[in-house]
Amino acid sequence: MTAAADKLKSAWPGLFVWLLVCFVAPVLGSAAGPGEWYAQLNKPSWNPPNWIFGPVWTGLYTLMAVAAWMIWRRGGWRAQRLPLGLFLAQLALNALWTPLFFGLHRADLAFVDIVLLWFGIVATIVAFARVHRGAAALLAPYLAWVSFATFLNFTLWRLNS
C-alpha cells in the first residue's frame, strides 16, 4: 500500500465523524415534524411536495459532511478553527430552524433564524474557499436550497400571519 493510500485509509474515520455531526442537526429537529399545523397552512402554488424534503436534505447533509471533512483534513481543528467553527455555527442555526418553525409554529422567528443561517453559510463558503475550493463548492447546493427555503419561509409567514 502506498503512503497516499495509507493516509486516505486513516482519514475515513474522520469522514464518519463528520457525517454523524451533520446528521445530528436533523435528528435534533425531528421531534418537531410538519404535522397537522403545517398541513393546514396556506401555501404558495410553488411549495414543494413534502416527500421532496427528505431526499434533498439527506444529499445536502452528506455534501456538508464531506466538505467539512475536506477542511478538517487540512490540519485538523488547530489549523482550521475559523472555517470549522463557522461550519458548526451555521449547523447549529440549521438545527434550530425546525423547532422554531414546526415545534413553536413561529414562522417569524424561523425566518430570522434562516436569514442568519444564510449569512452563516456564505461566511462558511468564503472561509472554506481559502482552504479548499472543492470543499467550498460542495456547499453551493446547500446555499441554493437555503436561499429557496428562506423565500418559502418568508412567504409562508406572510400568507399565514
Residue 42, domain member (yes or no): no
Q: How many domains does the chain have?
A: 1
In this prediction the pTM is: 0.91
Note the pLDDT tens digit of each residue in 9-62.
567 888 999 999 999 988 876 666 777 899 999 999 999 998 999 899 999 999
CATH assignment at residue 70: 1.20.1260.100
- Cell digits of residue 111: 425566518
- Cell digits of residue 92: 447549529
Residue 27, domain member (yes or no): no
Structural domain boundaries enclosing 113: 50-161
Residue 105, domain member (yes or no): yes
Q: How buried is residue 36: exposed, middle or buried, by Cβ count under 10 Å (0-12/13-18/19+)?
A: exposed
- Distance of alpha carbon 86 from the chain centroid: 12
Note the pLDDT tens digit of each residue in 61-87.
999 999 999 999 999 899 999 999 999
Residue 70, domain member (yes or no): yes
Residue 156, domain member (yes or no): yes
Residue 115, domain member (yes or no): yes
